[in-house]
Every structure is written in C-alpha cells, then in structure tokens.
Amino acid sequence: MRKLGIGLIGTGFMGKSHAMAWKAAASFSGDIQPVLVSVADIDSDAAQRAQQQFGFQRWTNRWQDLIDDPEIDVISITSPNRFHAEQSLAAIAAGKHVHCEKPLAPDSATAERMYRAADRAGVITQVGFNYVKNPLLKMAKKMIADGDLGEIIGFRGIHAEDFLASPTVPWSWRLDPSGGAGAVADLGSHILGMARFLLGPIEELVADLETVIKTRPESPGATTSKAVEVDDIARLTVKFARGCSGHIEANWVAAGHKMQLGFEITGSKGSLIFNQERFNELQYFRFSEDESKNGFVTLVAGPEHYPYGLFCPAPGHQLGFNDLKTIEMLEFIQAIAKGNTAGPDFKEAFEIQKVVDAAVASSRERSWIKI
C-alpha cells in the first residue's frame, strides 16, 4: 500500500478541517493512504495540540521544515492569504503536491505565477473550493448540461455571512490589503467559483465594492482603531460566455446570515435554487402543462448521488461540512494516484482570481471590464 505523507501548515478552523478530512479520506482512498506526518504553526503550543489531537507524527513552528521533510509528499496550506504564494511556491520547488485554501493569491498575476510553476514542475494542485464537491451541486451541473432547465436565462448568486457585521470586531488578517481584496475575494471567490462550475466562464462584469465599516479596533479590547482598506460588500453584474447574464453579491457584514452561499438559476424550461445552509437539498422547478401543479420540488441528497453513499446508506440523513472536505481530499488523493487533476486546481483558482481583480478594477474605474 502506497503511503502519501501529509504536511499541514496552520491549525486554525480550516487547519482542523483539513486534518479531519485527511484522516477520514483514508477510509475511502484504497491502495494509496494519507499519513499525517507533521503539522506546522507559528504558535508552538497550537502545533503541539494539533499533533496530539489529530495524530501527526511530529510538529514544528517553522513551515519550512515541512518543505524540507523527505517523508512529506503533500503540503496542505491553511495559513492567512498573504502567505499562500511563498509557501506554495516553496513546496512546488521541492516537488511536492499542494493543496491550498482560497483565495490562492492576492492578485491574478501572482496566481498565474503559481499555477505555471506547478505546471512546469508536474505536481498536482488543488484549491479549497470545497462547496462544489457537494453531490447535489454535481447533479445540478449535469442537469444544466443535459438541458433539463432549457436555455439558461439568468443567474443570481450570493455568499453572505455576518462574522464582521459588528463594528467592535477587531482588525484582523482578513482585512489586510497585502493579502488581496476583502469580501469579494474571501467570500466572493466561492460564489464566483460556483458560478463558473455550473455555467462556465464569466467574460465581462461591472462591480460596486463598498467598505461599510471604515475603522475597527486594532486588537481585541483596544481603544485605538485602524483603517479598513478592503471591501465589506461587493455587488457584481456579470455576463457569461455562454450568453446569459447574472448578479452576484459577496457580503461579510450581512447581519443574521451564517452561511448564505446560494444561487438561483433560471432557464426556459425550469429553475434550480440552492442554499448552503440547507445543502442536502436542491429546489427544482419544471413547467407543467397543468398550471395548478406548477411549483418547486425538493430533491434530497441520498446514496444515489455519488459519493454520498460512502458516508451513509440512507437518503435524507445528510452530509456535513467536513464531509465535503473529505470528498475534496479524496478526489485530490485520486488525482495524485492517476497523475491528473480533480480540480478546482491552481489554474481554475487563477481564472477565479481574474474575475476578482476585474471586480476591483471595475469598482475603481466605474466601468464594465472585459476578462
């Protein structure tokens, strides 16, 4: 049985999710088994806790140690955005496969440099757009491709949360402009990636980016404040290469919303509605000749929607967030085994970042931007 050594950078929320997903994926990965070799965090105590909690063989407070470790085949990156490029490029130069959280880079030029480096090195990459790994999202994509909705007329998408809704929440790495744009990159990249996954490339857009809360406390409990230089809300009107148009919003000051990542796709024959807060359900409408029977029906996730059945044999029992990360890591392992890509990879992340950059430029220039 082939062992795949995993090195994890970062032990926060997403670092824990990666660790659990790698361990769970080992149950389904066949003759290639991920092994948790080492975890790195600048906070030594956090690194030690993660080693003990998840069963890593060792820990370190230097991420460079993972790059130099010959037992590590894959670098799993969950550090703040501004570190992604340096860490990914170092891993690629060492010939290691890379899984990096989104957004991949602060700008598309850096993202392009990263994907081209990986391509030259022949390593497999993946970026953490885990929501498109949902079995129902894959079914929605197939329904669109099969013509179940007819000609696609429009798309409405949103990713809204409220973790920065209060002005008392202190300034943090998410607001650091050296890591890129704000909500349009952090949350917007998810709904933009989802839109591309379902409907294909976006070729033109006009955007309005707004900073709602202009200053925040420098640190928890601080009486001094720091200016916010990135957007809190981004509103985009987009045109898809396939011919339809749509509206997309990214918003991290949306009071009351914990995970409103969703879309409505309208076609000439029907519609689909999805919301991540109920991500085991897909709402499907198809016109009936009998007007009295027209209405949305709920399609519920079940074992017939691969790979739901790997987790549960019964429909309606529901997958969870970490199951999506497990599917993501499982597909990455399979891609490494086959020497191909499961996506979204660094190339797709670069394409998404081009849309983010275009939104920033459009808002600044107050004009339509071609991508």
- H, E, C per residue of 242-272: CCCEEEEEEECCCCCCCCEEEEEEEECCEEE
pLDDT in tens, 127-153: 999 999 999 999 999 999 999 999 999
Largest CA distance in the chain: 67
Mean pLDDT of the chain: 96
For residue 298, the model assigns a pLDDT of 97
Q: Check whether 31 has a pLDDT greater than 90.
A: no
pLDDT in tens, 325-369: 999 999 999 999 999 888 899 999 999 999 999 999 999 999 999
In this prediction, residue 62 has a pLDDT band, given cuts at 50, 70 and 90, of very high
The residues near 361 (Cβ < 8 Å, ≥ 6 apart) are 369
Closest CA to 177 of 226, 129, 219, 217: 226
Closest CA to 263 of 245, 280, 241, 248: 248
pLDDT in tens, 36-53: 999 999 999 999 999 999
3-state secondary structure 22-81: HHHHCCCCCCEEEEEEEEECCCHHHHHHHHHHHCCCEEECCCHHHHHCCCCCEEEECCCH
Q: Check whether 29 has a pLDDT greater than 90.
A: no
pLDDT in tens, 291-324: 887 899 999 999 999 999 999 999 999 999 999 9
For residue 36, the model assigns a pLDDT of 98
Pick the more confident residue, 288 or 364.
Answer: 364
Residue with tokens 């995993």: 6
Stated pTM of the model: 0.95
Residue with tokens 């209405």: 295
- Among residues of the chain, what percentage have pLDDT more than 70? 100
Bond into 307 cis (ω within 30):
yes
For residue 294, the model assigns a pLDDT of 85
For residue 292, the model assigns a pLDDT of 80
- Among residues of the chain, what percentage have pLDDT more than 90? 95
3-state secondary structure 180-220: CCCHHHHCHHHHHHHHHHHHCCEEEEEEEEECCCCEEECCC
Range of weakest confidence among 26-30, 218-222, 279-283 = 26-30
Q: Check whether 197 has a pLDDT greater than 80.
A: yes
- Cα gap 25→29, rounded to integer Å: 6
* Domains of the chain, CATH where assigned: 2-130 (3.40.50.720), 133-341+350-365 (3.30.360.10)
Query: How far is C-alpha 133 from the chain's CA centre?
Result: 10
The residues near 282 (Cβ < 8 Å, ≥ 6 apart) are 136, 139, 140, 272, 273, 274, 298, 299
For residue 1, the model assigns a pLDDT of 79
